[in-house]
């Protein structure tokens, strides 16, 4: 078990029992999610934008247009924060007060820096595509040099990070266990539907096997 | 159609065609989501935390423990931003470069203020509970006065807000439509599973009808 040494701001203070600093736990949540929410500061005010991401080793990568405000990191590293949240269920306690959500989330703080190397960017886009749809990269038309140049990639080392996890049944006040309403968990999961072909798809092209086998239980939006 | 007048920072600049300022569109996304991501600034650095929320009229409410850093709004309003993201599908273009995600998101900026009135807080917690699980409030043990006092509720008026939406098939470069790989959309949705009773549930209590009829198609985690 490789533990991350939490800094002050990466320490889970609210309900600290839910905090977890084990790198394997953090990596598993990052690998299961599809979308992160990136926080950054513009003119002193916070802004939060959803985007895709991929983890490679101990680094997290996001990418987008060089025109994106989110990616407006110049020569010097910029402080951003990245949060990935997986929702596992709704927790129905007997009391309204103790209703909760079962979830697994990761928060990463850190200075982000721009990835400049074209070869490295290509490797990251490969990992990004296969993180979203395992097996897709081999099929896709690969990025051209202008496309690579037109893609800004940011790297955030997973150093200041923590996971926060809630699992299990509701926790009610002792006297409430005598009450007669139902209590428990309503599980939620993200599932893939039937692939919808592009109306302009050439005739005779079958749905690829990696979509038929899409790992619905191992990928969650959020 | 009631349009919100977007301020500079609430204007969708990246891919402006995806921007939408219609209040009904924004409200529909907020009502369908379960979880928002709240951005706030601590010591000049951004922080992003997932939490539940509810919309009532033209206001959005979040709540939590008074000890939460996220809710550390004192006497004067604090700038926060709130983002709700619904993931509708993965968009498989022919080129890796044009892969995308179908989504509907709302970003709200604004000063948040604390709701002090106990009666108003009770109404908000009712709406919060029924937003998460329609019909649950009537069953739940209602908050006591100490519980109400121990719940901090923040209000963010939905004034500076915008929606951003992507729908439909991939958009590839013209020459790529001749390529022979599959292209289209893999729909994603959040679904509810079978309710799991609390192991300490008293014998003979049935799963309530509002869980059997949980609006899976009308609620999305994210």
**Residue whose C-alpha is closest to residue B147's, from B168, B118, B105:** B118
| CB contact B157 to A (< 8 Å) | no
User: What pLDDT does B53 receive?
Assistant: 97
Query: Is the model more confident about B100 or about A79?
Result: B100
Percentage above 70 pLDDT, chain A: 90
Span A6-23, pLDDT tens digits: 677 777 766 777 788 899
Question: CA A31 to CA A25: how far, in whole Å?
Answer: 10
Position B221 pLDDT exceeds 60? no
Position B217 pLDDT exceeds 60? no
Instruction: State the number of CA atoms in the 13 A half-sphere of B90 facing the CB.
Output: 29
Span B145-168, pLDDT tens digits: 999 999 999 999 999 999 999 999
Q: Which CATH number fits domain A16-172+187-218: 2.30.110.10, 3.40.50.10440, 3.50.50.60, 3.40.50.360?
A: 2.30.110.10
Q: Specify whether the CB–CB gap between A222 and A35 falls below 8 A.
A: yes
**Residue whose C-alpha is closest to residue B83's, from B30, B18, B20:** B30
Which of B48, B82, B84, B110 has the most A C-beta neighbours within 10 Å, making it the best mutation to test the interface with A? B48
pTM > 0.90: yes or no: yes
Of these ranges, B60-64, B65-69, B79-83, B168-172, the one predicted with the greatest mean pLDDT is B168-172
User: What pLDDT does B2 receive?
Assistant: 66
| CB contact A35 to B (< 8 Å) | yes
Question: CA B214 to CA B95: how far, in whole Å?
Answer: 39
Specify the fold of B16-171+187-218. Answer: Pnp Oxidase; Chain A (2.30.110)
SS3 content of chain B, % helix, strand, coil (to 5): 25, 40, 35
Q: How confident is the model at residue A212 (pLDDT cuts 50, 70, 90)?
A: confident
Span B184-204, pLDDT tens digits: 999 999 999 999 999 999 999
| CB contact B99 to A (< 8 Å) | yes
Span A46-71, pLDDT tens digits: 999 999 999 999 999 999 877 776 66
Write out chain A residues lying below 8 Å of B137, CB-based. 96
Q: Specify whether the CB–CB gap between A187 and B196 falls below 8 A.
A: yes
Q: Specify whether the CB–CB gap between B162 and B11 falls below 8 A.
A: yes
Span B5-24, pLDDT tens digits: 667 777 776 677 778 889 99
Position A92 pLDDT exceeds 70? yes
Three-class secondary structure of residue B139 per DSSP? helix
Query: Which tokens hold the place of A119?
Result: 């070869």
Three-class secondary structure of residue A41 per DSSP? strand
């Amino acid at each position: 078990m490789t533990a991350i040494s939490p800094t002050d701001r990466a320490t889970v203070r609210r309900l600290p029992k839910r905090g977890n600093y084990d790198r394997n736990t953090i990596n598993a949540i990052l690998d299961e999610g599809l979308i992160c929410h990136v926080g950054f500061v513009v003119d002193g005010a916070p802004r939060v934008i959803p985007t895709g991401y991929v983890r490679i080793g101990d680094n997290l990568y996001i990418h987008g247009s060089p025109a994106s405000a989110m990616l407006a990191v110049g020569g010097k590293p910029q402080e951003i924060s990245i949060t990935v949240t997986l929702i596992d269920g709704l927790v129905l306690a007997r009391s309204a007060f103790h209703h909760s959500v079962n979830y697994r989330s990761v928060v990463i703080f850190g200075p982000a820096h721009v990835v400049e190397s074209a070869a490295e960017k290509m490797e990251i886009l490969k990992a990004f595509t296969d993180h979203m749809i395992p097996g897709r990269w081999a099929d896709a038309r690969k990025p051209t040099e202008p496309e690579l140049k037109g893609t800004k990639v940011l790297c955030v080392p997973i150093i200041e990070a923590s996971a926060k996890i809630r699992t299990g049944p509701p926790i009610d006040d002792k006297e409430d266990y005598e009450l007669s309403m139902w209590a428990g968990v309503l599980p939620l999961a993200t599932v893939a539907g039937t692939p919808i072909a592009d109306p302009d798809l050439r005739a005779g092209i079958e749905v690829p096997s990696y979509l038929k086998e899409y790992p619905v239980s191992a990928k969650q939006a959020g």
